Structure 1
Amino acid sequence: MILHDATTNPLLVATNVVKDYPSVKVLKGVNLSVTEGDSFAVIGPNGAGKTTLFKVLTGEVFADRGTVRFEGNDVTRMPEWKRVRLGFGRSFQVARVFKELSTQENVVIAIEAHERNTGRRPARRLACRPSPDVREAVEQTLLEVGLIDKRDEPARLLSHGDKKRLELAMSLALQPRILMLDEPTAGMSPADRRAATELIAAIRVRHRMTIILTEHDMEVVFGLASRVAVLHQGAVIATGTPAEVRDDAMVREIYLGSESAHA
């Protein structure tokens, strides 16, 4: 069993995190340390607590016990919107976009929200006509995620894979320090999964960004992650490099042995 963890320049640290719901104990003393620049994957069987852990780390729900620290600061009871201002970006299993707006309008909203949050824009409604700087930033962001040709298309008409790309673009527009990706390739075709994996890898390198992801597809995990934690029944049973985790006897028995490629 591998349970060592990185301690150099920790960006996000969870210590003895416990989260219970009325009928079930979901997280049972989870410890994680994510180093700046990591691409860190959290894997485990369905019901292991991965999404709940994400919610606790991002402030969507609060831990019942334990602490969450970001850059050394205690954010355990800090709400989600405040963590976004600190530098958290987040995607969801089902992409959350403004379906009735165009692709580029979605990104405009994210960029202008970031400018207000950082004091670059007065606290008021969104501009009716984005400034030249915002329009340029939108173009660059859509180019980066491969949606520039669909800038005027209503988001509701985008394919599933393109909605996920748009959500990623909106997260990037917030200029996050850490990007939390919950099942970034869920529901995608094999071709879309490969494209999404390549895109995320390129974004991580280009922006020198720390990434935490949950993912069921082991090909995606081992293609993206520099470190992996395995959750089982609400507890971390192994943490290490992808090779170390893949070769761990307990992990193979509980998770990888029966579902070597998908879970």
Structure 2
Amino acid sequence: MIAGGSGSFSAGELSVPGHDSPNIATQPVEEGQIEMSATTSGKVVVIDEAHGNGVGEFQLRPLINTLTENGHEVRFYGPDRGPSGEQLNKTLRGADAFVSLAPDNRFKPAEADGVSAFVDAGGRVLAAGEPESGGGGGLLGIGGFGRSGRSAAEFTPVLSQYGLTVGSGYLYDTTDNVNNHANIDAAPTGSSDLTAGVDSVVVHQAAPVTGNNVLLQTDSETELTTTRDADAYGVLARTGNIVALGDSSVLDPDWTYVADNEVLVGNLADYLVTGDRGRMPAPSE
């Protein structure tokens, strides 16, 4: 079941000085199937549409279809937000998971408090997006996340509380890539439910993600547009009930079936519906 919602998506120009390519948006074509291993049903996943999010229903169709076909409900939050976050708090009190991708409007302090309370009660959060083309700002307030200037500096209190950060700029590799420098491979750093069955994920213009538990990482030749530093960069990290993904295009139909991306999407769907959310405290005045 899908409740409510509409979304929009705009792709900004991509540019790395000295490495421009007419095929910058080219993605490899593959086929696959998204599968879930979780046996739960009836969970409620809320997708944020209230903060100028740069990813809409069409781009999330693979994830939405997977969840609903496995007996879960997808709801959309927004665009009418109550004052001081009351509406978000109310929405989360009836949810098991919350997904916010590339938001452009700042979360109010009470909204951030509501998300923190949701996480502390066992609710699960997935944050993902794209680096903004001009640098600065960032998803959940830590660096450049978003398309065409979207910055998403909204979840800073939540992410920083759990030791997660998302850097500005995007990752590229001019020598070892998949069709163009912005399409690069990332591999699991160890054993994890989120990377089970994954050998390689292809990300496109991914922002670097750091945390105590980085789950997907590029090779050491990867460079970052803002610094030109070559290093092994994280693109997926988890702390408790919060997951930060450096590339929302993994969830897009154009990229979902590249390499083992569809396996990752299935694992993310399992993650969203296998939490054990307890009672949330009533929001303070």
| Larger RCO, structures 1/2 (Cα 8 Å, 6+ apart) | 1
Say which structure is richer in strand: 1
TM-score (norm 1): 0.30
**TM-score, normalised by the number of residues in structure 2:** 0.28
More helix by share: 1
